[in-house]
Chains A and B, each alone.
Chain A
Amino acid sequence: MTGSTARVFVPGDAAAVSVGADEVATAFEESGAQVVRNGSRGMLWLEPLVEIETDAGRLGYPNVSPDDVAAVLAGDATGIGVVDDHPWLTSQRRVSFARVGVVDPGSIADYEAHGGWAGLRRALSLSPAEVVQEVTDSGLRGRGGAGFPAGIKWRTVLETASDLKFVACNFDEGDSGTFADRMVVEGDPFTLVEGMVITAHAVGANEGYIYVRSEYPHAVAALRRAIDAAYTHGYLGQDVLGSGLHFDLHVRVGAGAYICGEESSMLESLEGHRGEVRAKPPIPAIKGLWDRPTAVNNVLTFCAVPMILSDPVDGGPGWNTYAALGTGRSRGTQVFQLAGNVKQGGIVELPFGVTLRELVEDYGGGTLSGLPVRAAQVGGPLGAYVPATGFEVPMDYEALTETGAMLGHGGIVVFDETVDMARMARFAMEFCAIESCGKCTPCRIGSTRGVETIDRIIAGQDVAANLVLLDDLCDTMVKGSLCAMGGLTPMPVQSAVKHFPEDFEPSGTEHGTQQSGAPV
C-alpha cells in the first residue's frame, strides 16, 4: 500500500506519549518513514493512534507498538479506516479542537494553511470596541469554570484607563478529569497565541502572560516553540502584522499548587508571590497584574476567539455561527473531557445541551471495568457527584446549576459500582486541606475538620449527629470562604451524602472495594 517514505502521523501529545508514542515514532523513523508528531485526535483509548497519509485520506491504526511498525507500513495491520470519517469524530462539532490532531503543531505554515490567523487579520481591521462587541454578541462565556461573559470582562478592561494593561491566560488546568487545555495547546498552540493577540488588540494590552502548570512540560515546550515562531513571522512583537499593535507574550510556569488555578492566586504567583487568593473587589479587569487592568481568561476561552472573529464561517460572521450553537444562555460549544473509569475516554466537543448520559454511555461506552456506572463527578474536584439515575441532565451552565451541580471546566470522571462515596467525600476535604492557600479560615481549618468528621462517620461514630455537623461545616465553608476552593469543596461532599446516603450509614463502610488508600 505505502512505501517506507510514507508520511506518518504519530501523536506527540503527552497522553499518547504516556502509552509509548515516542518509541513508536522512533521505530517509524528508523524504518525510513517521514514522521509528523501531531496532536491527539482525542480518542485516547486508541493511543498511540498512528495515521498514514494516503490518496484516500489519513488511515488510522490504533494502539500501535514498535513491534507493529513493519505491519502498519506494509498495510498488513488492522486499522480503523479514514480517521476523519470515524463516527466518534464526525458526530462532534469541533470548533476549538478543529485543528487538533490534524495539523503539525510545530509548523506555523500548516496553521495558516488550515485557516489560522484569519481571525486576527480581520480583528486588526476592526476597532477594539468592535472586536469586544462581536465577542459579546457571540455569547462566549469563560471556560475556566465560572462562565462569566468574556465580552463584558473585556469591555471593562478596554474602558479602564491605564498606561499599562495585560492579558493573562490561565493554563493552570489542575482539575482531575480535565485535559482539554493541555491537548489544545500541545496539538494546536498557535490558536491560543492568536486568541491572545486578538484580545490584546481588543482591550488595549501590550503584554501577555500564559501561566502553565509545571505538570505540563510537553505543553510548555509546544508554547515556547509556537511563540518563537510567531515572533519570527510578525504575529507578536513591536508591530503585529504592520498594524501598529505592540504585543509581547511570555510563558510562566507554576510550581505544583492547585490553588494557582484560581485567578487571583494565579496573578499573585505571576507577580512572584505565594499563591494566596486576593479578596474581591477590586476585580482583575480593573486591578489585576501589578494592579493594572488585566483580561484573565482560560485557554479554551482564548481558543474560541479566532473562530468568532473570522469571517465568514458557514456563510455567516463567525460570532453569529458561534452564537447559533448551544442552548439558552450557554452559547457555542463545550469541550467535554471523558475521564476516569470509562471505556472510551477523550475529547468530545459539542454544542451545549448534550446530556450526561449521551456523553458517558454513547461516547464513553460505559466503564472501563465493564461494571455498571454508579456516578460521575462533573466539573473537577470541586464539582458534584451525579448518580447514574441523574444522567439525563443537559450539559449547560444553568441546567446543571439547577440540579445542584456545575459544569466547571467540562471534565467528567466516571466511577463504577465499586466506588465508596464516603471515601470520595473524605478525599474532597483532604484535597482541600492539602491544597488550601491558607488565607481564609473556613477553607484552611474547615477542610481539616471535614476530614475528621467524615472519618468519624466512616467509623460509625454518632453518624446522624456527625452528618448534621458536616452539613453545618459545609454551610460555613460555602458562605465564608474567599474563593471557590473552600466555597465549592462542599459540593462533592454534600452531593455524595445526598445521592449516596447508604455509603454514609454504618453498613455503608463495606460498600466500596477499590479504596484501600493511604490516609494522610
Chain B
Amino acid sequence: MTTASTTDRGELVRAIATQHVSDRGPLMPVLHDVMEELGHIAREDVEAIADVLNLSVAEVHGVVSFYADFRTELPATHTVALCRGEACQSVGAEALYAATLAGASRLGDDVEVAEVFCLGNCALGPSGTLDGRLHGRLSAERLDTLTEGWR
C-alpha cells in the first residue's frame, strides 16, 4: 500500500474501508488499518469511513472514541507505555510510572509516556513497551539505557 505522503489521504482511507466492506463487522479492522497506515484517525477519516461502510458519522466517532488504541492525533516521535496492573505494581510499577511521567523530557525531545493495564508479562514486571516493543524487568536505569538512541 502507498504511503500518506504520496497519496491523497481521503482516497487511501476509502480504499482501506472498501477492502473490508464485505466483511462481517468491518469497522474495527478498518480502524486498525487506518491507524497502521496513517498513525491516527482524523475527523475527515471518520466521515469517509462512515460513508463507505454505510454507517453514521456518530457511530464511527463513537467507536473511535471508545477504544484507547484509536487516536485522533499523531503520536509523539517515541512512546513509552508502562504497565500499571497489579502484578507490575507489586514490583514497583507505580513509582516507575510516576518518575517516568515526571521525567519524560529526559528520555528525549518528543516522548509520550502512557499507562497500560497489563501486557501479559506479569511474572517479569515491571513491564512496558518502547515504541511498541515489549520489555520486562524495567527500572529507571534500564529505561535510560534502552532509550539512549532517542537523545
User: What residues of B have a CB within 8 angstroms of the CB of A274 in the complex?
Assistant: 62-63, 66
Check A15/B94 contact, CB under 8 A, given A215-B118, A339-B87: no
Q: Does A110 contact B (CB under 8 A)?
A: no
Count contacts on A: residues with CB < 8 A to the other chain. Answer: 66
Interface membership of B57, Cβ < 8 A? no
Say yes or no for B123: interface residue by CB 8 A criterion. yes
Give the chain A neighbours of B120 by CB distance below 8 A: 14-15, 173, 178-179, 182, 215-216
How distant is A272 from chain B, measured CB to nearest CB, in Å?
A: 3
B140 on the A face (CB < 8 A): no
Name the residue in A178, A254, A419, A518 with the highest tally of chain B Cβ atoms < 10 Å from its Cβ. Answer: A518
B10 within 8 A of A: no
CB of B1 within 8 Å of the partner chain: no
A355 within 8 Å of B (CB atoms): no
B150 within 8 A of A: no
- Given A338-B123, A427-B89, A174 contacting B32 (CB threshold 8 A): no
State whether the Cβ of A230 lies closer than 8 Å to any Cβ in chain B.
no
Given A18-B127, A271-B25, A337 contacting B90 (CB threshold 8 A): no
Contact (Cβ within 8 A) A419 B127 = no
Residue of B nearest to A272 (CB): B27
Closest-CB distance, B81 to chain A (whole angstroms): 9
Flag if B86 contacts A18 (CB, 8 Å): no
A257 contacts B29, C-beta separation under 8 Å: no
A298 to B67, CA, bound (A): 22
Interfacial chain A residues near B134, Cβ < 8 Å: 14, 17-18
Residues from chain B with a CB closer than 8 A to the CB of A214 are 32, 69
Contacts of A337 in B (CB 8 A): 122-123
Q: Restricting to B114-141, which residues have a CB under 8 Å from any CB of A?
A: 116-125, 127, 132, 134-137
- A411 CA to B125 CA in the complex, in Å? 15
Note all chain B residues with C-beta closer than 8 A to A517: 84, 89, 94-95, 97-98
Residues from chain A with Cβ under 8 Å of B86 in the complex: 176-177, 340, 377, 381, 413, 424, 427
Taking a contact as CB atoms closer than 8 A, the residue among A253, A255, A415 that contacts B90 in the complex is: A415
**19 CB < 8 A contacts A-B:** A15-B124, A18-B127, A19-B124, A176-B83, A216-B120, A252-B28, A253-B32, A255-B67, A256-B116, A274-B63, A340-B90, A341-B90, A381-B85, A413-B122, A415-B90, A424-B86, A427-B86, A517-B84, A518-B94
Chain B residues near A (Cβ < 8 Å):
24-29, 31-32, 59, 62-63, 66-70, 83-92, 94-95, 97-98, 101, 116-125, 127, 132, 134-137
Which residues in A have some Cβ–Cβ distance to B below 8 Å? 14-15, 17-19, 44-45, 47, 173-179, 182, 207, 214-217, 252-258, 269-276, 290, 337-342, 345-346, 368-369, 377, 381, 411, 413-416, 419, 424, 427, 431, 434-435, 437, 514-518
